[in-house]
C-alpha cells in the first residue's frame, strides 16, 4: 500500500468511526464510488477496532501530568467556539489574537501554530513578518513549533517574562524592607556578572556559529553552481560535436516520414551517437535519449531500442519543454521508476542527467537530448559529503518538493539501527525532510508519515526560493533542535541546507550559566530563608489593591510595537484571557492616546466573528491595559500550510464569516485595513463546523474622523503589502471600505490557490505587480479548471480599480450565499479535516 492510499484509508476510517453503524457503508460508498477494495479495508479495520480498549490503552500510554511548578507544554493554541467556555488544553497550541500594531520583536510560537500579535513575526515559524512567499506558498510552509515554556503556580511571587512596568510598584515597595536589601546585596552582583558573562559567551558562540554555517552554505552553493554549470557546458559540447549532431539530424528526418518507428529502431545513426559519446566521455556505460519536437523518442542507449517510438513521461514533459525552448535543464537527482514504454531502470540508486537542445544547421531547435551515466551524481554527492561533519555539521541538498537528494552522513547515521551507515546504503530521493514534532532516536525508510508531516523550517523557507539564517533553533528531520543557514539555487531548482545541533552550538554558554546559578544559590540561600516570608507577604498585600489583581498571569505570549501580551486567567471566573499592557517605554501621551483609540475601536464591534474586548483601564500609575478574548485555533495561513489549497465550499464558507465581521465594522464606519490569512483564526465548532474570527484591529481607522478622538495620519503604507489594494499604495491616508474587499479577494485567492497572489520578495517589484499585473490563474496552482462563478468572484474582489469591485461587503456576502448553496461545506466535512490535520488542537 503506497503512502497516498494509506493516507486515504486513515482519513476514511477516522471519518466513519463516529458514525452509526447503519450509516457507515453508505458514507463510504458516497466517498470512494466503486472502489470496493478500499471499502472492505475500512470495514475490516472497524470490525477489529475496540473503542473502549483503545481508550484504556491510550490513557495508559500518556505521560503523567507535570506539576504546576514544572515544565509545561507551550503548545496552547488560540481558537474560539461560539457560546462555549475555553479551557487550558495542555495539548492545544496557544495563539493570542489581540489587536496589536506591527512589532519588531518576534513572538514565541508553539505546537504548529503561531502566536499572532499584530504583524509580529513568530520565532519558530516558516512565515516572516513581511508575509512574503516562503511562508506557505508552499504550503510548503509547514507547522511552526518551539520548546516548552514554564508554568507557574498561583502562589508564585514572580511572573515570568513580565514587563517591568506592570509590576514595578511591587519592586519599589519590596525594596523598603531590610530583608529585600539583604537579598539584593547577596544576589545582585552575582546575577549581574553571570548575566553579562552568559550573554557575552552566547553572543560570541552565536556569531561564530552563524559565520560558520553561512560560510559553508555560500561555499557549497558556489561549488555546486560551478559544478553543474561545468557539467552542462560539457554535455552541450558533446551535443554540438559534428558526428553526434549530424546523426541526430538524420534521425529527425526519418522521424518525419510515415510509420518511422521500425526505421528508427534499425537506423545505424543510433549506434553512431553511442560510439561518439563513449569516446567523448571515456565511459562505456554512458546513456542517452533523443526526443524530436513532438516528444517522441527517436534514439536511446538501449540495445533493443524498445523505447524508440515512445513518448516522454508526463512528469518529464515540463523539463523537455524547457529544453525545446533552448534552455539547458537539470534532471534529478532522482530514483528512476519503470514506465509504460517498457523502460526498466538498470539501477535503484539516484541518477542525474543534463537535457540540452539540439540545433540544426540553420540554428533551429529540432530535438532534445538527455545524457547521463558519466558519474555526475557521485561527484555532486561528494561535494556535500566533504562539507559534512557527522555529529557537528549536516550539509545536504533538497529539491523543490522538500526531498533530500544527497546522502547526508548524519541522516544515514540516524536511519541506521546500529548507529552505523552500513545498514542503509543511501538516502537520496528517499526521504522528505519534514518535522516529526519531537526528537526521535531513529527512523526507517520509507516513512509514510512524512507525506503528511510539515516541512522543517529551513526546508520550507528554501523551497520558497528564500536564502536565510536562523540561530534561535528549530527542529530538523530527526526532531533535533538545530541552527542553520540555507541557499536556493534557482537555476537548478535545488536548495542547500547547512545545520548544526543547537546543544553543540551553545554548550559552553550552558556550562557558564550553570556555574553562576550554583554560585548564586550558595551566596543567597541564607538570605532567602530570612527574607522569603516578609517579601511574600509584602507582594501579596500589594497585589490585592492592583487593578489587575483579579487576573493571574500565566505566561508572556509576546511583545509588539505598543504593548506586551500575556496569557492570563480570571481568578474568580477561571476564564482564560489575553492581557495586553502598554509597554513601559511607550508611556508618552501620544502612545497612550493611540492605545486608547485602538481598544475603543475594537470594543465597538460585537460580531461573533470578531475578537471580543472584555475590559480596559489604567492603574494608579497610569499604565494602560486591555483584556480581550483568548482565541484557540490556527490561522488561515497555517490551514494552508497544513493541507494546501482548500475545497471550494470551505473557502466560500470561511469567506462568508469574514464578511460578517467586516460587514459590522463597515456599517459602523470602521475599515480594518489589514485583512490577511495571518489575521483570521479558524477553529472547529461542534455545531456549525469551521468557525472563523477576525482579529488585529490595530490598523483600523474610521471613515468619518472624530475631532474629539485621537487620529493618526499615514505618510507611509500601513498594512501588509501583499494583501493591500492598489489605491492604498498611491494614497496611504485614504480610507475606503472597498480596500478591505480587495484584501478579502486576496485571502480567497490564497485559500483556493494554496499560495499568495503575488510571489515577489522585492518591495518595489511587489508594488509594481499589485498595481499593474493580474495574479496567475487559480486553476494553474490547482491544476484544474476553477468553476467560472468562483473565479469571477475572486477577480471582481481583486479588481485594480475600486469602482470595478463589489461596492459593499454586503454585495459580496450575497454572492457568497448563492455560491455556498452550489458548493456546500458540511459539519462532517469540517470534522474530517480537523481530525486529520488538527488533532493536536481540538
Whether residues 600 and 521 share a domain: the answer is: yes
Number of structural domains found in the chain: 5
216 is a domain residue? no
Convert the pLDDT of each residue in 719-744 to its tens digit: 467 888 888 877 776 778 899 999 99
534 is a domain residue? yes
226 is a domain residue? no
617 is a domain residue? yes
Whether residues 301 and 259 share a domain: the answer is: yes
| DSSP string for residues in 85-135 | -----TTS-B---------SS-B--BTTB----TTPPBTT-SS-TT--TTS
Grid-cell match 544576589, residue found: 187
CATH of the domain at 547: 3.30.200.20
CATH of the domain at 352: 3.30.450.20
Whether residues 46 and 169 share a domain: the answer is: no
Whether residues 433 and 514 share a domain: the answer is: no
* pLDDT band at residue 102 under the 50/70/90 scheme: very low
842 is a domain residue? no
Of residues 821, 670, 640, 594, the one with CA closest to residue 747: 640
225 is a domain residue? no
81 is a domain residue? yes
pLDDT value of residue 217: 93
pLDDT value of residue 499: 93
CA atoms within 13 A on the CB side of 256: 9
Residues paired with 475 in a beta bridge: 481
CATH of the domain at 481: 3.30.450
Predicted TM-score (pTM) of the model is 0.43
Strand runs (DSSP E) across 510-612, as ranges? 551-559, 563-570, 576-582
Which of 629, 658, 691 lies at the terminal end of a domain, its last residue? 629
Whether residues 500 and 515 share a domain: the answer is: no
Whether residues 702 and 816 share a domain: the answer is: yes
CATH of the domain at 775: 1.10.510.10
230 is a domain residue? no
Of residues 100, 119, 99, 103, the one with CA closest to residue 605: 99
Which of 482, 504, 526 lies at the terminal end of a domain, its last residue? 504
- Dihedral angle over CA of 198, 199, 201, 204, nearest 10: 170
Whether residues 702 and 805 share a domain: the answer is: yes
Convert the pLDDT of each residue in 10-37 to its tens digit: 778 778 777 887 778 888 888 877 788 8
Which of 454, 486, 504 lies at the terminal end of a domain, its last residue? 504
Whether residues 317 and 414 share a domain: the answer is: no
Convert the pLDDT of each residue in 311-349 to its tens digit: 887 778 888 899 999 999 999 898 888 776 666 778 888
Convert the pLDDT of each residue in 583-614 to its tens digit: 767 767 777 777 777 777 778 888 999 888 88
Q: Is 676 annotated as a binding residue?
A: no
Q: Which domain holds residue 347?
A: 240-375
Share the mean pLDDT of the chain: 76
pLDDT at 294 over 70: yes
Burial class (CB in 10 A: 0-12, 13-18, 19+), 109: buried
In this prediction, residues 639-650 reach a mean pLDDT of: 94
pLDDT value of residue 50: 59
Whether residues 79 and 176 share a domain: the answer is: yes
> Mutual orientation of helices 809-822 and 788-797 as an angle, nearest 10°?
160
pLDDT value of residue 180: 56
Q: Are 332 and 350 in contact (CB under 8 A)?
A: yes
More confident position, 411 or 65: 411
Whether residues 694 and 789 share a domain: the answer is: yes
* pLDDT band at residue 644 under the 50/70/90 scheme: very high
Whether residues 279 and 401 share a domain: the answer is: no
pLDDT value of residue 103: 33
* Helix or strand run (H / E) with residue 831: helix 827-837
Whether residues 688 and 794 share a domain: the answer is: yes
Amino acid at each position: 500500500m503506497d503512502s497516498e492510499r494509506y493516507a486515504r484509508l486513515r482519513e476514511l476510517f477516522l471519518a466513519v468511526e463516529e458514525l452509526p453503524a447503519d450509516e457507515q457503508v453508505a458514507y463510504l460508498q458516497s466517498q470512494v464510488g466503486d472502489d470496493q477494495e478500499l471499502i472492505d479495508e475500512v470495514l475490516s479495520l472497524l470490525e477489529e477496532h475496540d473503542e473502549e480498549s483503545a481508550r484504556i490503552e491510550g490513557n495508559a500510554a500518556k505521560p503523567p501530568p507535570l506539576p504546576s511548578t514544572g515544565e509545561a507544554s507551550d503548545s496552547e493554541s488560540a481558537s474560539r467556539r461560539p457560546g462555549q467556555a475555553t479551557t487550558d488544553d495542555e495539548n492545544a497550541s496557544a495563539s493570542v489574537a489581540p489587536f496589536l500594531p506591527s512589532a519588531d520583536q518576534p513572538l514565541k510560537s508553539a505546537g504548529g501554530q503561531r502566536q499572532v500579535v499584530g504583524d509580529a513575526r513568530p520565532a519558530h515559524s516558516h512565515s516572516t513578518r513581511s508575509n512574503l512567499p516562503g511562508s506557505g506558498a508552499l504550503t510548503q510552509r509547514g507547522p511552526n513549533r518551539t520548546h516548552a515554556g514554564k508554568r507557574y503556580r498561583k502562589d508564585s511571587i514572580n511572573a515570568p517574562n513580565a514587563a517591568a512596568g506592570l509590576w514595578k510598584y511591587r519592586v519599589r515597595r519590596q525594596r523598603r524592607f531590610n530583608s529585600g536589601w539583604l537579598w539584593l546585596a547577596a544576589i545582585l552582583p552575582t546575577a549581574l556578572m553571570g548575566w553579562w558573562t552568559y550573554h557575552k559567551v552566547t553572543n560570541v558562540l552565536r556569531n561564530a556559529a552563524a559565520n560558520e554555517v553561512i560560510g559553508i552554505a555560500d561555499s557549497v552553493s558556489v561549488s555546486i553552481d560551478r559544478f553543474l554549470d561545468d557539467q552542462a557546458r560539457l554535455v552541450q559540447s558533446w551535443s554540438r560535436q559534428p558526428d553526434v549532431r549530424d546523426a541526430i539530424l538524420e534521425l529527425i528526418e526519418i522521424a518525419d516520414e510515415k510509420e518511422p518507428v521500425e526505421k528508427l529502431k534499425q537506423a545505424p545513426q543510433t549506434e553512431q551517437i553511442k560510439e561518439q559519446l563513449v569516446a567523448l566521455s571515456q565511459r562505456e556505460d554512458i546513456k542517452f535519449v533523443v526526443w524530436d519536437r513532438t516528444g517522441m523518442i527517436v534514439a536511446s542507449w538501449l540495445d533493443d531500442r524498445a523505447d524508440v517510438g515512445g513518448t516522454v513521461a508526463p512528469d518529464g514533459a515540463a523539463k523537455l519543454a524547457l529544453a525545446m525552448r533552448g534552455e539547458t535543464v537539470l534532471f534529478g537527482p532522482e530514483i528512476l521508476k519503470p514506465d509504460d514504454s517498457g523502460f526498466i531502470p538498470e539501477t535503484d540508486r539516484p541518477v542525474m542527467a543534463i537535457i540540452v537542445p539540439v540545433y540544426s544547421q540553420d540554428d533551429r531547435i529540432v530535438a532534445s537530448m538527455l545524457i547521463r551515466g558519466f558519474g555526475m551524481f557521485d561527484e555532486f554527492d561528494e561535494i556535500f559529503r566533504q562539507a559534512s561533519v557527522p555529529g557537528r555539521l549536516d550539509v545536504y541538498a533538497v529539491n523543490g518538493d522538500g526531498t533530500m537528494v544527497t546522502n547526508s552522513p548524519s541522516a544515514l547515521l540516524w536511519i541506521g539501527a546500529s548507529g552505523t551507515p552500513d545498514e542503509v546504503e543511501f538516502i537520496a530521493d528517499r526521504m522528505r525532510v519534514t518535522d516529526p514534532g519531537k526528537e526521535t532516536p531513529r527512523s526507517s525508510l520509507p516513512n509514510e508519515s512524512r507525506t503528511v508531516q510539515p516541512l522543517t523550517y529551513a526546508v520550507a523557507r528554501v523551497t520558497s526560493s528564500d536564502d536565510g539564517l536562523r540561530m534561535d533553533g528549530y527542529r530538523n528531520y530527526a526532531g533535533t533542535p538545530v541552527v542553520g543557514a540555507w541557499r536556493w539555487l534557482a537555476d537548478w531548482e535545488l536548495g542547500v541546507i547547512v545545520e548544526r545541533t543547537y546543544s553543540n552550538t551553545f554548550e559552553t554558554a550552558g556550562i557558564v550559566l550553570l556555574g553562576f546559578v550554583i554560585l548564586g544559590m550558595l551566596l543567597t540561600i541564607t538570605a532567602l530563608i530570612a527574607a522569603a516570608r516578609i517579601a511574600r507577604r509584602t507582594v501579596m498585600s500589594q497585589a490585592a489593591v492592583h487593578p489587575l489583581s483579579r487576573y493571574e498571569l500565566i505566561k508572556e505570549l509576546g511583545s509588539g510595537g505598543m504593548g506586551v501580551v500575556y496569557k492570563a486567567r480570571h481568578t474568580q471566573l477561571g476564564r482564560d484571557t489575553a492581557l495586553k499592557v502598554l509597554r513601559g517605554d511607550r508611556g508618552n501621551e501620544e502612545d497612550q492616546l493611540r492605545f486608547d483609540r485602538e481598544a475603543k475601536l475594537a470594543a465597538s464591534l460585537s460580531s461573533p466573528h470578531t475578537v471580543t474586548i472584555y475590559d480596559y483601564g489604567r492603574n494608579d500609575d497610569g499604565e494602560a491595559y486591555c483584556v480581550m478574548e483568548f482565541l484557540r485555533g490556527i490561522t488561515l495561513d497555517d490551514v494552508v500550510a497544513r493541507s494546501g489549497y482548500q475545497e471550494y465550499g470551505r473557502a466560500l464558507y470561511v469567506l462568508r464569516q469574514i464578511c460578517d465581521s467586516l460587514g459590522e465594522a463597515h456599517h459602523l464606519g470602521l475599515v480594518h485595513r489589514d485583512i490577511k490569512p495571518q489575521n483570521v483564526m479558524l477553529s472547529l465548532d461542534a455545531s456549525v463546523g469551521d468557525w472563523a474570527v477576525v482579529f488585529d484591529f490595530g490598523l483600523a481607522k474610521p471613515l468619518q474622523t472624530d475631532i474629539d478622538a485621537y487620529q493618526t495620519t499615514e505618510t507611509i503604507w500601513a498594512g501588509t503589502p501583499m494583501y493591500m489594494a492598489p489605491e492604498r499604495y498611491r494614497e496611504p491616508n485614504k480610507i475606503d471600505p472597498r480596500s478591505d474587499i480587495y484584501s478579502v479577494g486576496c485571502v480567497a485567492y490564497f485559500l483556493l490557490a494554496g499560495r499568495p497572489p503575488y510571489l515577489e520578495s522585492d518591495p518595489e517589484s511587489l508594488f509594481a505587480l499589485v498595481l499593474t499585473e493580474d495574479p496567475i490563474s487559480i486553476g494553474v496552482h490547482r491544476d484544474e479548471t476553477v468553476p467560472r462563478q468562483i473565479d469571477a468572484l475572486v477577480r471582481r474582489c481583486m479588481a485594480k480599480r475600486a469602482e470595478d469591485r463589489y461596492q459593499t461587503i454586503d454585495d459580496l456576502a450575497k454572492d457568497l450565499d448563492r455560491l455556498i448553496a452550489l458548493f456546500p461545506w458540511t459539519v462532517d466535512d469540517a470534522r474530517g479535516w480537523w481530525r486529520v490535520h488538527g488533532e493536536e488542537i481540538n
